[in-house]
Chains A and B, each alone.
Chain A
Amino acid sequence: MKLTRRTRDHIKSAACIVAMFVVWELACVAFRISPIVLPRPTAVISTLIVQMPALWPHILQTLATTMLGFLLGTVIGVALGAFVGVSRSAYNTAYPLLVGFSSIPKVAVVPIFVLWFGSGTVPAVLTAMTTCIFPIVVNVATGLATTEPEMEDVLKALGASRRQVLWNVSLPRAMPYFFASLKVAVTLAFVGTVLSETVAANRGIGTVMMMATASFDVPLVFAGLFALALLGILLYVVFAGIEQRVCGWATRKQDLAVA
């Protein structure tokens, strides 16, 4: 059977990933590592499958919380990014604030949210939102601010208004930056959600992992981690797919030597 180069590359990558788990499995067996310290991947996966009926509502909870926080974060992030990217003075004002805010560990913010809104879903949504805003703002702002002046000049000479330039040149030009940030942001939103769930919530994967840790059910903790990782990969793939459809021109541009 003759395989295309692409397929062979995919198979190679998949084999490497599987090999990594095999090494993990073998290491656990060979060094007799206790499942309380590091469970074998097979044990984790079987726990994940066995516990799935109980885990499922928590997975849905975490997914819904993350998506809501991510959605809010995207809307606010794009608005802020557009504001910061278009105006010089907004850039100078907002940038230090944003950098400062993003440097704050989100663990420190969760108790404040709980104080304001009580424990549960609201602080989790807000934590997810604040965790994922920064990359979106930075990327959208960068995309807008780095538009080639010549591209804008062509429209300006035609008599285009600022809004028309923004709509026809700057925004489409910023799309690849925006989507690149979305892929990062969606995984960060998961981190935010789970963080908040481990501190103050009674539902969600974070809560499950917290309770499993308390009862030394380490395979279940790892099952929770696996579930999170899978969700993260899934959403990453979804957004990478949308990106490819919306701004495939940006990745294919590499073939073009003449700019």
Chain B
Amino acid sequence: MRSGDLVAMVGPSGCGKSTILKLVAGLLRPTEGNVFVAGREVGAERIGIGMAFQNPTLLPWLSIRHNIMLPLKIVKPYADTYRRDKDTVFRERAEALLARVGLAGFGDRKPWELSGGMLQRANLCRALIHAPKLLMLDEPFGALDQFTREELWSVLQDLYLETRPTVFLVTHDLREAAFLASRILVMSARPGRVVEDRVVDFARPRTLETTFTDAFGGLTNELRRLIFQARHEQAGAARTAAQETAA
């Protein structure tokens, strides 16, 4: 992956998308081989990755603002001045980011007072507040309805274009991948392999109009076909294996 890329990874469930994400984030250790981020092996040095899961996992005892400011408390250099800046600079930073995702004025609310879509917006803020060089998103919009999802695509794209972090997006929504990514990796399941590596060069900023173009439709259809093939081969392999055992 190149720095500043937005790479989406799609594939049938169980192909190891989330595992790769966790390996890169240093949450899992590889059983074999090594993982390198920015030229350094993962685990050797923490680099403060921004992360958002499908489940918002905001801490229910903190207000939305304090939830969002959490990375600033952990990641250096922010952590060093957290005590001094938490009510001034950092607070404004959190409010500004909240306003960007359409949550202005909700900073003092508690997570249980917000809807699923709002929580996911806040979750995005938390992943971005410390301006991470690497952003890991694991089906961040998976639990949302289509309209909210499409709205948040644009929000995410805006934020991405502003700071240009390297983004690693795991998703099973092909339109989401095609809309957001500058590069799409298609994976097959068991064995988990990258079967297709494709550059997406629609002009940015992309809008919902982009998704109605023939090129966009063609891309998503092609991706769908690739995944279908990957699943088909997998099912075929499983059948052969079953026949062999039966014989």
Q: Once the chains bind, are A158 and B51 in contact (CB under 8 Å)? A: yes
Question: With A148-B57, A249-B110, A255-B112 in contact, do A158 and B119 touch (Cβ < 8 Å)?
Answer: no
Q: Once the chains bind, are B61 and A150 in contact (CB under 8 Å)? A: no
Q: List A contacts of B60 (CB < 8 A).
A: 249-250, 253
Interface majority SS (helix, strand, loop, mixed), chain A: helix
Q: Is B47 an interface residue (CB 8 A)?
A: yes
Q: Once the chains bind, are A164 and B112 in contact (CB under 8 Å)? A: no
Place the interface of chain A in its size category.
20 to 34
Q: List A contacts of B74 (CB < 8 A).
A: 155, 158-160, 164, 168
Within 8 A of B (CB), among A23-48: none
Query: Smallest CB-CB separation from A165: which chain B residue?
Result: B74
Q: List B contacts of A156 (CB < 8 A).
A: 25-27
Q: Once the chains bind, are B48 and A158 in contact (CB under 8 Å)? A: yes
Whole-angstrom CA separation of A168 from B73 in the bound complex: 10
Q: Is A97 an interface residue (CB 8 A)?
A: no
Q: Once the chains bind, are A256 and B70 in contact (CB under 8 Å)? A: no
Q: Is B204 an interface residue (CB 8 A)?
A: no
Whole-angstrom CA separation of A172 from B59 in the bound complex: 9
Q: Is A217 an interface residue (CB 8 A)?
A: no
Question: With A155-B74, A175-B61 in contact, do A150 and B55 touch (Cβ < 8 Å)?
Answer: yes
How far in angstroms is the closest Cβ of chain B from A226?
38
Q: Is A229 an interface residue (CB 8 A)?
A: no
Question: What is the total of A-B residue contacts with beta carbons within 8 Å?
Answer: 74
Within 8 A of B (CB), among A230-258: 247, 249-250, 252-253, 255-256, 258
Question: With A249-B60, A253-B60, A255-B112 in contact, do A157 and B51 touch (Cβ < 8 Å)?
Answer: yes
Query: Smallest CB-CB separation from A167: which chain B residue?
Result: B73
Q: Is A20 an interface residue (CB 8 A)?
A: no
Whole-angstrom CA separation of A241 from B119 in the bound complex: 29
How far in angstroms is the closest Cβ of chain B from A132?
25
Whole-angstrom CA separation of A247 from B61 in the bound complex: 7
Q: Is A151 an interface residue (CB 8 A)?
A: yes
Whole-angstrom CA separation of A164 from B46 in the bound complex: 14
Whole-angstrom CA separation of A175 from B61 in the bound complex: 10
Whole-angstrom CA separation of A160 from B143 in the bound complex: 27
Q: Is A90 an interface residue (CB 8 A)?
A: no
How far in angstroms is the closest Cβ of chain B from A151?
5
**Which listed residue, A168, A252, A253, touches B70 by the CB 8 Å rule?**
A168
Choose among A148, A154, A255 the residue with the greatest number of B CB atoms under 10 Å from its CB. A154
Query: Smallest CB-CB separation from B52: which chain A residue?
Result: A154
Q: Once the chains bind, are B25 and A157 in contact (CB under 8 Å)? A: yes
Q: Once the chains bind, are B57 and A150 in contact (CB under 8 Å)? A: yes
Q: List B contacts of A169 (CB < 8 A).
A: 59
Question: With A153-B51, A158-B48 in contact, do A258 and B57 touch (Cβ < 8 Å)?
Answer: no
Q: Is B146 an interface residue (CB 8 A)?
A: no
Question: With A156-B27, A157-B25, A175-B61 in contact, do A252 and B112 touch (Cβ < 8 Å)?
Answer: yes
Q: Give A contacts to B, CB under 8 Å.
A: 148, 150-151, 153-160, 164, 168-169, 172-173, 175, 247, 249-250, 252-253, 255-256, 258-259
